Structure formats: C-alpha cells, structure tokens
Structure 1
Amino acid sequence: MTTPAALGRRNARLLVLLRWLAVFGQLATILTVHAVLGAALPLWPMLAALAVLVALNIAVTAARGRWPVTAPQVFATLLVDVACLTVQLYLSGGVGNPFVSLYLLQVVLAAVLLPAWAGWAMAGLTSALFAALAAVAPPVRLPPGYASDLSAPYIAANWFNYTLAAVLLVLFVTRIVRNLSQRDARLAALRQRAAEEEHVVRMGLLASGAAHELGTPLSSIAVMLGDWQAEPAVAASPTLRADLADMRAEVMRCKEILGNILLASGEVRGEAPVRTTLAAFLDGIVAGWRGAGSVAVEWRNLAGSGETRIVGDKALAQTIQNLLDNAAEAGARRIAVTARRDGAMLELTVEDDGVGFAPEILAKLGKPYQSTKGRRGAGIGLFLASNVLRTLGGTLEAGNRAGGGGMVRIALPLAALAIGEDI
C-alpha cells in the first residue's frame, strides 16, 4: 500500500522530470526564435529564469528523502514554475506569445497532485497573471512579416477563454481525482475484508478439526466418570461424589462448546434451528454465561416485549459470551449488559469496570491477535465478533468509559434473525 510520504516523493520526482523537460524546451525555443527568426529577445534575463528552474530542481533532488514532501511544499515549487513562466512570457510578447497556454499545465498539475484548494488557487492566480500580462507586457520586436497586432477584444476573449478552461479543468479533474480516491479506498477495504475472511476460514477449519479430535477423548472421559460413580470408594465419600459431579459437568460443558463450534462452522446439519423469541434468546445467553469468581452481571432488557420471534444464532450467542469472557479476563468485578431496540436494529452494550482497552487495541479494533494478555493465540475475541456481526449485517464498536472500564456496543439488524415479517 502506498503511504502518503511515498506518494509525495513520487509526485516530487514527477515534477522534477517535467521541470527538466520545460527547461530544455524553453531553452531550445528561445535559441530558435533568436537565431532563426531574428527576434530581439532579452537573452540574459530569460536565461536567468531558466537558471532558477535548474537550481530548484537541484535543490529538490538533493533534499529528496531527508524529510516528507508535503502538499504546501509541492504547491510552493509550482508557484516558482509559474513565476518563471510569467517572466519568460513578459520578456517575449506577453499574451501574444502562443506559449501562454502553458499556464494550464500548472493548473492541471495542481488539481491532480494536490488538494482541491491548490487547483482553485492556481486557476485564480494564473488567470490574474494572464490579465496582468495583457495589460503591462511590452510587445516583442519581430522582423517584418512576423509581427502582428492583437486587438483588445481578441485579448479579452482570449483571457475569458483561458479562465473558463482553467475553471472547467479544476472542476472536473478534482471530481475525477476524488472519485478515483474513493474507488481505491473501497478496493482497499474489500481486499482487507477478503483477507480477514480468509483468516476466519482458516481459523474455522482449524477449530473444526480440533473439535473433531477432542470429541473422542471427551466422550471417553465422560464414560469413565460414569463408571467411577459406581465404585464403592466414590459412593462412600461425599467429597469424591461432589468432585466427580463437577468433573462431569465440566466435561459436558466442553462437549457443548465443541458442538457449538461444529454448528457454527456448518458441519452439524441434522439439528434443526432453534426457534425462540428475542427476549428468551438474550436471557438465555446471559443466564447461561458462567462468570469468573465474584463477577456480577447486571442484565437490562430494554428491547421491548419478548414476542419477536427469531432463529437463535449459535455464532451470535457465542460472540456475546466471548465479550463477557473478555470483560471478566480484564479484571471486571461488575458487568452491565443492556439491550435496546432502535427501529429495526438491536443494540447490545456490554460495560465493565475492568482495566479497559489499551489505545493500540482500539486503534486496530477487529484485527486478529491484538491483545494485552501476553500469550500466543490471544486476541481473537473481538476479531471473531467483528466478522460474525459483519456476516449478519451488524457492526461493533469499542471504547473506554469515562469512569474507568471498557465498553463494547454491537448493532444488529433484527431482519438477520427474525422469522418472516416478525420484526
């Protein structure tokens, strides 16, 4: 991807090349007119103007790479070009010189390479210089047969023609440049999205394979735990029975998580979609989440009545639970979950009193492996959440609360979950 600094250096190199062409072209034209046509041109002042352009090119080339090339710097070099061209035109017949149209080149360069203000400023400046040359530039003395007089109406019409051309060029060139910039931004966003989705696919394949591999040992452990319940030593010990019950519960939770992974990856086809209501779906997610230690969850359902029928999306449920897990891992002792309905959109906000988000995490929100947990493989929670919501047509934003702690807000169109017209 081209950075602004690299683009500025590229534009500076382009201007240096064009300026060298202008120097040699003007030099050849001056010598030809002086030697062939026998025009009495003030050679030394005109050559001095060319020397200024040569010095400017040498200075720009020497300074290349030492500091960033900014738009005002490029505009300043264009002003030097315009000043030297004006001097050449003043010394060689003013607006009677056919090369007065070279002003349009400066207008186009400013409109293409710089922000819109530079194009309009260059159009106004060159139009004013055109009028000034028409008023004060002395005519060049040409041999008989070459000399001609331009009438005042012709000069006025020529100025109007130039100004109109400059305005139209700036108007349309700036619009074309803006359209191209917007197109490039959209293409960059699409490429980034394709790369992220490819990353999600790879992660999904890895998770699906791991789920298949872990399913067999977990089933074996569940069977063995069931057999241990019949052992006399376990039956006679309340402590062992309680520990065994906890172990079986955790194994069943692991199997449920693996089942959700397979379901979210599309590998479980025999299980019918869960039809429920919006309120029951959200209540179930919060109630089924198991916080760490003494983490308290305050659940506020402000999304209206529970009559909205939806299809319970396993991936969305896992996404919300991951947000709760992230809040608990960030040291939160209290988590507030609020659901609101804004027209056809469902807004869900998760706020906590933990350590909040680091600035680098917020700057790269939704990118994989952006985490402060300090372990390999961490930092995919918000990345997966962003991609799940994007698939459903929703958005995710995160920030820090004024009183401390983090905040994550997701917005999701109910049409992505609702059954029929029940939204």
Structure 2
Amino acid sequence: MLGPLARGGPGGRNVRLLALLRWLAVAGQLAAILLVHFVVGVRLPLVPMLGALAVLVGLNVAVNQVVERRPITNAALFATLLVDVACLTTQLYLSGGVSNPFVTLFLLQVVIAALLLRGWTSWAMVVITSTLFAWLAWAAPPFPLPRFWASELSIPYVAASWFNFTLTATLLALFVTRIVRNVSEHDARLAALRQRAAEEEHIVRMGLLASGAAHELGTPLSSIAVMLGDWRREPAIARSPALLADLDDMRAEVTRCKDILSQVLLASGEVRGNAPIRTTLRTFLSGIVDSWNESKGPTATYEHLMTSDPRIVADKALAQTITNLLDNAVEAGAKTIALCAWWDGDRLVLAVRDDGAGFPQSILDGLGKPYLSTKARRGAGLGLFLAVNVLRTLGGTVSARVREHGGSEVTLTLPLAAISIPEETS
C-alpha cells in the first residue's frame, strides 16, 4: 500500500497521526494505571508497567526525529507497530491477561496495520496479535482482585474469545485492505483522468493555434502561387530551363504546403471545399507511404498483411499521425522503414518499424507526454504525443518498444469501425 513514507506527503502525515495516537494511548494508560493503583486500591506492578509507557514515549520521540530527516519505510513502520504491540502485551500480562477488557486493543493495531502497511505485513499483524492473545490466555499469571470484582473465566469461554478475536481480526484486515486498495485505485483513475483532461486541453490550444495559423497562411501561399505563375511567363525566365525547373519545384512545394494546411483545417473540423474522401484501406495506407517517399530521402515500404481491403473514409488526422512517425524514424537515423498492417480480431493494427537508434527508456516510460524528446530543437517531442491522442479519439491505443535486433517499433491499434464505411452506404 505504501512505499517509503515521504516527509510532508500523505505518508509523513500518517506517521505523525500515528504518533499522536500513541501519545493518547500513553496518557490513557497512565491515567488508568494511577487510578486503579491509588484510587481503587488494586496494587499494580508500577515499575514494569510505567517502564512500558516509557518505551512508547521514547519511540515517539525517535520517530518524530527520524521522520524529519528521512522517509519511513514499510518495514520501519511495521517495526514501530510491533513495539506498540509488545508494550500492550506487557501491560496485559501484568494486569490479568485476557481477563483484562483492554485486550481488545489488539484489534486497533490490526486496523492500523491494514490501513498503513502492505498486504503481507498487515496479515503478519493478524497472526502476531492472535498468537499473543492465545499466549496471554495460557501464560498470564492470575491477577489478584477484591472478592466482589474477581471472576474466573472458563477454558471454553477463553477459547471462544480467542476464536472470536482471530475471526474479527481476519475480517478487519480483509475488508480494510480491500477498501484501501479500492480507494487507491480510485485515486489513480482520478489522477489519470486529470492528466488526460490536461493533455486534451493542451491539444485544444494547439488545435486553435494550428487552425488560426492555417487560415493566416492560406492567403500568402495563394499569392505566392499566383506570382510564381506570373513569373513563368516572364521572357527571361521562359528562356532558362534551369529557372523553369526551379519554378516548378517551388510551385510543387507551395501546393504541398496548401494541402497540409487543408489537412490541418479538416482535422480541426473545418473544411476548405474538400469533401471527405472515400477509399480503401490499402489505397489509403499505401498512398500515405507513397506521398511520404516523394518528399523524403529514405524509402519506406508498405506491407499489407491482410486478405481483405475494406472501404474506409480517409482520416486526415490518422494520415498525419503515420507521417509523423515516419519522420521520427528518419530523425532517429533509420535507413529502412516499414509500415505494416494486419488484423487483431475486429481491430486494425498498424506498426511503423525502423532500424534507427530506437527509443531511450525515458521516452518509453513517458509515452505520450508532450515535449518529451531527445531532440534539442524547440517544439520537439510532439509526434508520439499527437499519435496517442489521435488514436484515443478513435478509440485506439499506441505502444512503442525497442526491437530486439535494433531500431524501434510503434504500434497503433484502433477499431476498424472508427474509419470504415458501413456496408449499406457503400
């Protein structure tokens, strides 16, 4: 349940709360001992009983000193609870054993262990207290009480009391540990939802920025395209094949930029005169690879490992995600890149494999976090972050690993229904 209990965190506060409970126990036991001995007139062995209280006081002082300097581990906290149990056992041994009604305070130690300790140590506390209960019933000496207070417990009654204590302690440990685990899992889910909400808010801001930039860049790109067309008709340029070739390259790049801006606007929910494209899965994926190969040095291949080729709606966000992963492979030094597609039941699996440098462990541990990258340039580290969130909106997942013989593999898994065209509308 708990690792090291950090200073100032919930664990540290629990240790201080336990120390406060121990002070209350010391005060209550001291008051009870003095009342019984001096007011009621029942003679108690004051020296050993007050010595047990002194041990608890020393433990509290030591714990308060240690928690200020270093974390308290599960084993250390378990040891402090064992000291509490030992002192309580001493007090009970000297004051009647299981006939002392305060024997039920053992259950308090069981509950505290179930709340604060890991599973095995909480169950160890159940075994220890149950064993000590039985030992007190057998070994504790008779305690002399005035005649009108004295009573004798029968062996069957003591045995039944031990069984009742063990059963109660077991049920307490079982249900308290389960409740604590449920609360921890609930807190973990809430933390994950908060993280997801923060990431989605980040994506919304990025989308608004990208959409605004796309709108702003559309006009100057159109102006550049018109000027390039006018320059082509200039006599000095028309007579130069080299200049004409450069103009054609420039016009192609401007057209590509306009296509990218259209994809950005489409992905953000805005359409610039382009209807959604209906195509087949193989055409869609091979088209992404072919388009990417036209603009990059390394050659990527597409492996269609499926017998069927369903009709789908070309998802621009998914296409851009795959393109980003291909770009990442090049930046990792890959010479061979492959996009593979296959079925896993009714889910489509896409894997981008390369022979590059692979992923460091820090990237794998924080997969999907923004700006987590080994590249130094500003804005790097968004490729996997966008992939994770695009796949999330499609109901899919993203995973990454380092391949056994070098390179990396990023796997996208999504339900085909997220992009497929129903049969009745095909």
When normalised by structure 2's length, the TM-score is: 0.95
Greater Cα offset, 329-338 or 167-176: 329-338
1:200 partner SS:
helix
**In 2, distance between residues paired with 1:162 and 1:36?**
31
State the distance in 1 between where 2:4 and 2:116 align: 14
- Among candidates 197, 208, 229, match of residue 226 of structure 1: 229
Aligned to 1:299: 302
| Aligned with residue 166 of structure 1, among 158, 165, 169 | 169
| 8 A contact 1:334–1:352 mirrored in 2 | yes
Residues 293-352 of structure 1 show CA distances to partners (whole Å, capped at 9, x for unaligned) of: 53021221102222x111111100110011111111222121122111111111111111
The CA deviation at 1:404 is: 2.0
CA distance in 1, matches of 2:272, 2:134: 78
Aligned position for 1:119? 122
Query: Matched residue pairs, number?
Result: 421
Q: 2:355 aligns with which of 347, 353, 356?
A: 353
1:338 to 334, 340, 344: 340
CA offsets per residue over residues 228-261 of structure 1, 9 Å max, x none?
A: 1101111101000000000000000000000100
Q: Distance in 1 between matches of 2:176 and 2:378?
A: 49
Q: For the Cα contact (< 8 Å) 2:4–2:74, is it kept in 1? A: no
Partner SS, residue 408 of structure 1: strand
Counterpart position of 1:77: 80
- Which residue matches 2:259? 256
d(CA) in 2 for partners of 1:390 and 1:170? 39
Within 5 Å, give how 1:10-409 maps onto structure 2: 10-268=13-271, 271-290=274-293, 294-306=297-309, 308-409=310-411
SS at match of 1:207: helix
| Cα shift at 1:10 | 2.1
CA distance in 1, matches of 2:242, 2:74: 75
- Which amino acid is the alignment partner of residue 165 of structure 2? Y
The structure 1 segments of at least 4 consecutive aligned residues displaced by more than 4 Å after TM superposition are none
- 1:3 and 1:86 map into 2 onto residues whose CA distance is 28
Q: CA deviation at 1:147?
A: 1.5
What is the DSSP-based 3-state SS (H/G/I as helix, E as strand, rest coil) of the residue aligned with 2:313? strand
Deviation for aligned residue 1:402: 2.2
Query: Using the alignment, how far apart are the partners of 2:62 and 2:293 within structure 1?
Result: 67
Distance 1:366 1:317 in 2: 18
Change (3 A) 1:3 1:271: farther
State how far apart, in whole Å, the 2-side matches of 1:292 and 1:79 are: 70
* SS of residue matched to 1:356: coil
Answer yes or no: is the 8 Å Cα contact 1:346–1:411 preserved in 2: yes
AA partner of residue 347 (structure 1): V
Q: Take 1:270 and 1:292, find their aligned partners in 2: how far apart are those partners? A: 25
Give secondary structure in 2 for the equivalent of 1:59.
helix
Give a deviation string over 1:44-80, Cα, whole Å, max 9, x none: 0000001111111111111113222111111111000
Quote the offset at 1:400 in angstroms.
Answer: 1.6
Q: Which amino acid aligns with 1:357?
A: F
Is the 8 Å Cα contact of residues 262 and 272 (structure 2) preserved in structure 1? Answer: no
Q: Deviations over 1:251-289 (max 9, x none)?
A: 000000001000000011753321111111111111111
C-alpha contact 1:93 1:139 (8 A) present in aligned 2: yes
Counterparts of 1:329 and 1:265, CA distance in 2: 27
Letter in 1 for 2:328: N
- Runs of at least 5 residues in structure 1 that lack an aligned partner in the other structure: none
Taking the aligned partners of 1:27 and 1:378, their CA distance within structure 2 comes to: 65
How big is each residue's C-alpha offset from its partner over 1:357-381, in whole Å with a ceiling of 9 and x where there is no partner?
Answer: 2222222110111122211111111
- Asked if the contact 1:294/1:333 (under 8 Å) is kept, the reply is no
Structure 2 unaligned segments of length 5 or more: list them.
Answer: none
Where 1:348 maps in the other structure, the secondary structure is strand
Matched, 1:7 2:17: no
Helix, strand or coil: the match of 1:206?
A: helix
Q: In the superposition, relative to structure 1, how do residues 4 and 185 fare at CA in structure 2: closer, same or farther (>3 Å)?
A: farther
Q: Which amino acid aligns with 2:74?
A: A
Distance 1:292 1:10, change over 3 A: farther
- 1:319·1:388 contact (CA, 8 Å) conserved in 2? yes
| TM-score w.r.t. length of structure 1 | 0.96
Distance 1:357 1:338 in 2: 19
SS at structure 1 position matched to 2:337:
strand
Q: Distance in 2 between matches of 1:134 and 1:4?
A: 36
Separation in 2, partners of 1:291, 1:382: 23
What amino acid is aligned across from residue 179 of structure 1 in structure 2? N
CA distance in 1, matches of 2:273, 2:182: 49
Alpha-carbon spacing, 1:420–1:4, altered in 2? closer, same or farther (3 Å):
farther
Provide closer, same or farther for how the CA distance between residues 287 and 197 of structure 1 changes in structure 2, counting only shifts above 3 A: same
